[in-house]
């Protein structure tokens, strides 16, 4: 994309010491094993694809694209590297760095989202403008930006557990960070797939809804001592009607009322 927009391109060899990293580089993590493999390939075959750079000062250049290749060249012990020199401004440099990583699929889902967010904030782009520049649907871009609602701790755990973007989007259905942490813990511990994770989140959200429902108001059964005494009297009458002897002894003080109920184990004998 950058080559088509810029007619002035110069291929030259530059000392590695003169190349500065790209401050807009969206990629934060580089696999050390893969870097060593690439470094060994460069030792044997040289760097087949030049780095892309721009001038930033007298004798100094800024990397536009090729951070991974530059690191591998350093590991390989190279002092000079082939570079394509471009005439681009800050916005074009940031845009091209992000696009190159997206096309190579070198970014994690969160690095991609952070790169898009940085591009929007730095240059005051709307989501529509950013999506147009990156060649993606606005809805896709919006979904990627939503991933940044996850806490940094949650992002780290999702990345470490190698969960998918669909896992991450499912977790976003939970607005409470603590409840989301619990869901994430279960997903990782039980190695749940996306569908199982969705079902877990459904059950957690439904349970939360039940907890939020107000408890029905309960009318007190007994709100007066007289009602309580009346209830006991009715109960004793019912016992007598069933054929059992029942006696009550009531004593009362200033502090309390004491009721003793004595019930016979055997039916009362009727006098004929």
The residues annotated as belonging to the active site are 67
Residues 30 and 71: beta-carbon distance below 8 Å: yes
Instruction: Quickly count: other Cβ atoms within 10 Å of residue 215's Cβ.
Output: 5
Question: What is the DSSP secondary-structure string of 107-131?
Answer: S-HHHHHHHHHHHHHHHT--HHHHH
Determine the Cα–Cα distance for residues 147 and 49; give it in Å rounded to an integer.
33
Strand partners, 263: 246
* Cβ atoms of residues 154 and 110 within 8 Å: no
Please state, in angstroms and as integers, the Cα–Cα distance from residue 47 to each residue in 18, 22, 74, 81, 104, following that order: 17, 19, 11, 7, 17
- Residues 127 and 138: beta-carbon distance below 8 Å: yes
Token readout for 22 is 């790209």
Does residue 221 sit in helix, strand or coil?
A: coil
Question: What angle in degrees, to the nearest 10, is found between the helix axes of 152-160 and 177-189?
Answer: 10
């Amino acid at each position: 994309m950058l080559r088509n927009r810029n007619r002035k391109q110069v291929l030259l060899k530059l000392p590695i010491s003169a190349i500065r990293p790209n401050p807009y580089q969206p990629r934060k993590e580089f696999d050390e094993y893969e870097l060593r493999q690439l470094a060994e390939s460069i030792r044997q075959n040289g760097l087949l694809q030049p780095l892309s750079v721009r001038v930033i000062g007298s004798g100094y250049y800024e990397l536009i694209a090729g951070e991974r290749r530059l690191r591998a060249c350093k590991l390989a012990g190279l002092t000079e590297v082939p570079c394509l020199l471009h005439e681009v401004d800050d916005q074009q440099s940031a845009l091209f760095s992000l696009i190159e990583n997206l096309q190579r699929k070198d970014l994690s889902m969160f690095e991609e989202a952070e790169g898009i967010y940085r591009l929007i904030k730095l240059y005051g782009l709307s989501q529509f403008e950013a999506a147009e520049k990156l060649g993606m649907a606005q809805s896709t871009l919006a979904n990627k930006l939503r991933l940044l609602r996850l806490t940094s701790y949650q992002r780290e755990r999702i990345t470490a557990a190698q969960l998918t973007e669909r896992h991450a989007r499912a977790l976003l259905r939970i607005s409470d960070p603590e409840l989301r942490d619990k869901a994430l813990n279960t997903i990782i511990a039980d190695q749940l797939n996306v569908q199982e994770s969705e079902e877990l989140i459904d059950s957690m959200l439904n349970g939360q809804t039940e907890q939020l429902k107000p408890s029905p108001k309960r009318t007190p059964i007994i709100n007066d001592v007289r009602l309580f005494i009346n209830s006991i009297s009715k109960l004793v009458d019912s016992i007598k009607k069933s054929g059992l002897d029942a006696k009550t002894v009531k004593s009362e003080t200033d502090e309390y009322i004491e009721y003793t109920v004595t019930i016979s184990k055997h039916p009362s004998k009727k006098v004929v």
